[in-house]
Amino acid sequence: MSKLLVFQHVPYEILGTLNPLLKSHGFRIRYVNFGRYPDAKPSLDCYNGLVVLGGPMNVDQIEQYPHLATEISLIRDAISIGIPVLGICLGAQLIAKSLGAEIKRNPVREIGWYTVSPIREGKKDPLFNHFQDSEKIFQWHGDTFEIPEGAVRLASSPTCTNQAFRYRSNVYGFQFHLEVDERLVERWLRLPIFKKEMEDLADKTDPRSIRQETPLYIDRLKQLSDRTFTEFIRLFDLGNKRQALPSR
């Protein structure tokens, strides 16, 4: 049975549709809730993989959120020992930061449904080769990552050049949110912190439009989520097979 470590920053950014998929594959999941326990010092010992979830903070706010430094260090360790690593939104930015890439403000604050397209390398990647040339994916971010040295850009959008990357064969960063369902989207739209963010962008972001668009795109997002996360789970089987190879 594979054991997965999950870094969580706020109670409303969760595994979402990834959670039942992991459980159906027999994963044991341990959450480290840094929002509640900012001084936590988890160990990677005995864990087969790491998922780093999203959050409203910036990766450089280490004085305000010192656990970010802990996470960056642990992400580096996870990459070093070769276990699968997945970062979503802030999580992707933390992975990029741990690999030496710059995190900066995106020209457009993407909130809602945006077109995302796999690029040439993405069309060959097992986690993205089922994407059509243009897919509507849910977004909620103001920052973006540069592609780390040695990593491969997999997807892009007209308003955010770097939407996904792969480092080596088992480390992925997604700027977008494949893990949301309709209930989670509605929960975010009702959160005071997110409502304030949308009010500040009232000329560019309309929660009514997001509510109207969600039923149009959510079923396809679920299909993409199931296929993408299933392929990510396959990385654990590959890792176990590598570990089981006899020494020469």
Whether residue 24 is predicted with pLDDT greater than 60 in this model: the reply is yes
- Of 6, 115, 22, 102, the C-alpha closest to 55 is 6
Domain of 38: which CATH number? 3.40.50.880
- Of 236, 227, 185, the C-alpha closest to 18 is 227
Q: Which domain holds residue 83?
A: 3-241
pLDDT of residue 245: 31
Is residue 187 included in any domain, yes or no?
Answer: yes
The residue with tokens 């079923």 is 219
Is residue 247 included in any domain, yes or no?
Answer: no
Whether residue 241 is predicted with pLDDT greater than 60 in this model: the reply is no
How far lies 168's CA from each of 85, 113, 129, in Å? 11, 29, 17
Please state the domain count of the chain: 1
Is residue 180 included in any domain, yes or no?
Answer: yes
pLDDT in tens, 201-233: 876 788 999 999 999 999 999 999 999 999 999
At 138, is the secondary structure helix, strand, or coil? strand
* Predicted TM-score of the model (pTM): 0.94
pLDDT of residue 240: 53
Is residue 246 included in any domain, yes or no?
Answer: no
pLDDT in tens, 26-54: 999 999 999 999 999 999 999 999 999 99
Q: Strand 171-174 to strand 85-88: parallel, antiparallel, or no bridges (unpaired)?
A: parallel
- Residue 239's pLDDT band (cuts 50, 70, 90): low
Which residues are known to be catalytic?
89, 177, 179
Is residue 194 included in any domain, yes or no?
Answer: yes
Instruction: State the Cα–Cα distance between residues 115 and 8, nearest whole angstrom.
Output: 27
pLDDT in tens, 64-105: 999 999 999 999 999 999 999 999 999 999 999 999 999 999
Give kind and range of the element (H or E) at residue 104: strand 103-118
Is residue 248 included in any domain, yes or no?
Answer: no
State residue 176 phi and psi, 5-degree precision: -95, 175
